[in-house]
Amino acid sequence: MNGEIELSQVTDQLNSGILLLDLQLNIVSWNRFLAVHVNQKLEDVKGKLIFDVFPELPQRWFERKVASVIQLGTPTYCSWEQRHHLFELPHTRPITTDSHFMAQNCSFLPYEQEGKLVGICVLIEDVTDVCHYQSQLKETMKQLELANRIDGLTRIYNRKYWEEALGKEFARAQRYTSELSLIMFDLDHFKKLNDNYGHQCGDLVLIETASRVSSLLRDADVFGRYGGEEFGIVLPQTDQIGALEVAERVRAAISNSPIIFEGKKISFSASVGLATLNSEHKRYEDLISETDSALYRAKSSGRDQICILQKFNKCS
């Protein structure tokens, strides 16, 4: 190979930005990648303060980053996961992203001549594709995680996740000696409703029940489908009196308003069992068992009512 290849002939072919600054942060040079994306020639920006050419830069953050390179004489780095971009450079990818600007990994390198630090070299790597596909992957994983804990029909928590949440709340209540109540309710005569009107009507009743009850609860409450037509509500920081008030609102919300299915009014109701954590409950399953027993008593006592075994030992 004859002749000496100038460095610019190499750097101008890179698909990354190279920006050279002096110690006062004035622009000394940049490569073709930046000239194209900024749409300015080097001679038009050479000698200008970087913040005048790129006003979008977080100045104080950028100055601290550069100062660490100058003081320590070692490189530093900023990834797109820390900051999506530093420089507002439009990406040219034929993909839909959340930003008009390219995602960037930026490296800050000390630039020396004859062993003396004379400037900072900023390398700007376009990682828009990586950012886009990582974001897609995270969203897919989020949806999968949600699908693993949500009941497909009612869109409330499924039994597995609901029981796990109850177990955590049970342990927390025991650890901090705090109140915890559990409500379980079962739709009355649901099999008969399915037999008379079909499973589409039954599904509509389940969906409407979940929607009505969800609107009554706090963010801290955990509402789930325990199985079939049976539901459970975990009530942290709630004593028996408070839980009874919630249970009555739930019962009334279900039984007071029929649904319309194929032009017919369909009335339905629920039987409700309630229990509050006490010293006899050694495991969260004990709390479920007591609540389920109260629910069974509510059904056997005439349905569309609330039963509590402990303390009150009555139905209402």
Cα–Cα distance measured from residue 145 to residue 95, given in angstroms and rounded to the nearest whole number: 26
Q: Which residue has the tokens 């399915």?
A: 194
Task: Decide if 285 contacts 261 (C-beta within 8 A).
Answer: no
Q: Which residue out of 163, 169, 229, 230 is catalytically annotated?
A: 229
Along the 316 residues of the chain, how does pLDDT read in single tens digits? 333 446 677 788 888 999 999 999 999 999 999 999 999 999 999 999 999 999 999 999 999 999 999 999 899 999 999 999 999 998 876 565 667 889 999 999 999 988 899 999 999 999 988 888 888 888 888 888 888 899 999 999 999 999 999 999 999 999 999 999 999 999 999 999 999 999 999 999 999 999 999 999 999 999 999 999 999 999 999 999 999 999 999 999 999 999 999 999 999 999 999 999 999 999 999 999 999 999 999 999 999 999 998 654 455 5
Q: What is the pTM of this model?
A: 0.63
Buried/exposed 233-262: b ≥16 CB within 10 Å, e otherwise: bbbbbbebeebbebbeebbebbbeeeeebe
Alpha helices in 182-283 (DSSP H): 190-197, 199-214, 240-255
Nearest alpha carbon to residue 205 among 190, 184, 220: 190
Cα–Cα distance measured from residue 208 to residue 268, given in angstroms and rounded to the nearest whole number: 11
229 is catalytic: yes
Task: Decide if 193 contacts 228 (C-beta within 8 A).
Answer: no
CATH architecture of 151-315: 2-Layer Sandwich (3.30)
Q: Looking at the DSSP assignment, which residues form a beta bridge with residue 273?
A: 184, 307
Task: Decide if 106 contacts 84 (C-beta within 8 A).
Answer: no
Which class is domain 7-135? alpha beta
**Domain spans in the chain, listed from the N-terminal domain onward:** 7-135, 151-315
